Chain A
Amino acid sequence: MDRKEIEILELLEKNGRMDVHTIARMVELSPEEVERAIQKFEDQQIIHGYSTLIDWTDVLGYEGVTAMIDVKVTPVRGKGFNDVAERIYRFPEVKAVYLMSGAYDLSVSVEGKTMSQVARFVSEKLSTLDTVISTTTHFILKKYKHDGIIFGEDDDNDRRMPVSP
């Protein structure tokens, strides 16, 4: 992949709503070329979708909790961790699953409306899987920074003097 293609991906990763014309100007390609590149990334599933980063904390009437769960599992001969990972990531409550090095095997991020809903998922669905040896659940109390974005920070706050040499 050439440098300009990578730049297109970086720009979209930072701002999924950036329009094709702006991207085209920034990387010095024509809008058509940029459109073709984006289409190609979508076809190749390099771009998996476009989402919006929302800080739900200040949304009135919204309830929700997120837990990070450390899961220890017994790998299955010939399949490793993939089968059990799939068993887990198919649940819609599960937002992310990573295979980890270190003290446990899978890191599972689960979202629910309430703590008891998440607790029920862990005790009924997750820990009852044959290959799961143990789980440790950590509830997120506050999000300071998510996907590279610092929540609550005003990006437009320019601290510079308006004109300088």
Chain B
Amino acid sequence: MSSDTSRFIAEHVDSLKPSGIRRFFDLASTMENVISLGVGEPDFVTPWNVIEASYHSLEQGYTAYTANAGLLELRGLIAEYLQSAYAVPYRAEDQVIVTVGASQAIDIALRAILNPGDEVIIVEPCFVAYASAVTLAGGVPVSVGTQAANEFKLQPEELANSITKKTKAIILCNPNNPTGTMMSREELLPIADLIQTHDLLVLSDEIYAELSYDEGYVSFSSLPNMHERTILISGFSKSFAMTGWRLGYAAGPAALIQAMTKIHQYTIMCAPTMAQYGAVEALRSGSASVEQMKKSYRQRRNFVMTAFEEMGLMTNRPGGAFYIFPSIKETGLSSEEFAEALLMEEKVAVVPGNVFGESGEGYIRCSYATSMKQLTEAMKRIKRFVESRLT
């Protein structure tokens, strides 16, 4: 008998590639005094009233399971919020489910809809988990790239070219991680037309919706005929600075949310109760803190955008999230070479664009969810590094 226990691992899991971010994490972790622009989460601590509400729920002994789909009170507040912020109507009773982060919502949405071999279109560069989540759910991920020339916005003709008879759904992340691109209503409408024509479903990852800086956010679900074709996925991580609480949600047509709830019920039971009580407070009275954080992100976005322009690195104007995605092609380095040399020489961690998909090659993702003090120093170091490579 072989002693290699890896023979027990399922083939489709064994063949999954570890995320490219992992390697950078390992590298950066070994070094001291690194300024990290590689972090995909807010630098703020969760607003105090939310923390306090969660404490209170624990003190009161609310430590049991909740309903599978989450506290009805929380689902009600989520429905109210979606209605008032984005004018999309959902029923708390059967059209909303509270999940363990938006990540779990994506996972159970895919598992609920995919038959083996079904194709899911993924718009790259994008969050690293989508393709693997599709594979794990038995589907086949199909990538569509976006280009800087179009501000990394999905072009309808490119989407049309990748639709086949097997296509079941498309995952859209707006505003986008890693590019910060936000698509407007006019830009989303032709996408919606294709969705309708080809009878597809949209998994709309709207986790950064609250963090949009220049114009009002349009939820995909609010477009004509799209309410019944959209699973809206969001959560508390980014806007309320609650990443570690692992609390997200999905809203969509009742049949789909009920199918997701079935998986959720058998695999997770319910999202953590104390986190749900924190989220209730976040939605009740957290909007002032969100506004404050959002203002701070916008100012930092402006700061880093100008800094990159001044050092001669081309960048699009990111309309949302807290990432900027400058081109480093001028330096003649690949994304990985640039990120690695920058880390070694200047101790600044960024994420190479190619880990988010092939079309991210030639770019780096910098998160500006970091204090102005750190950002100022980081920009100084990157400038010095870029100058050393350009001359």
Contacts and interface: CB of A to CB of B under 8 A. Distances in A.
B36 A26 contact: no
Contacts of B300: 26
B127 A22 contact: no
Chain A interface main SS type: loop
Contacts of A162: 25, 28-29, 34, 36, 38-39, 349
A161 B24 CA distance: 11
Interface of A: 7, 11, 15, 18, 22, 25-28, 155-156, 158-165
A163 B21 contact: yes
A142 to B, nearest CB: 20
Given A22-B376, A25-B306, A163 B28 contact: yes
Contact of A160 (B19, B41, B306, B372): B41
Contact of A165 (B40, B299, B303, B307): B40
Contacts of B21: 163-165
Contacts of B127: 165
Given A160-B39, A160-B41, A163-B25, A7 B302 contact: no
A26 B127 CA distance: 27
Nearest to A15: B372
A155 B373 CA distance: 10
A72 B127 CA distance: 63
A152 to B, nearest CB: 16
B43 interface: yes
Contacts of A159: 45
Nearest to B36: A162
Contacts of A156: 371, 373-374
Interface residues of B, number: 33
B25 A7 contact: no
Contacts, number: 66
Contacts of A26: 299-300, 302-303, 372
Contacts of B72: none
Contacts of B254: none
Nearest to A24: B306
A24 to B, nearest CB: 8
Contacts of A18: 372
Given A22-B372, A25-B307, A155-B371, A165 B19 contact: yes
8 interchain residue pairs of minimum CB distance: A163-B38, A26-B299, A162-B28, A163-B25, A25-B306, A162-B36, A25-B303, A164-B40
B140 interface: no
A38 B141 CA distance: 54
A159 B373 CA distance: 16
12 contacts: A7-B295, A22-B303, A25-B302, A26-B300, A159-B45, A160-B36, A161-B39, A162-B29, A163-B351, A164-B21, A164-B39, A165-B19
A18 B376 CA distance: 11
A163 B36 contact: yes
B302 A28 contact: yes
Interface in B9-55: 19, 21, 24-25, 28-29, 34, 36, 38-41, 43, 45
B129 interface: yes
B354 to A, nearest CB: 14
A22 B36 CA distance: 20
A18 to B, nearest CB: 8
A165 B302 contact: no
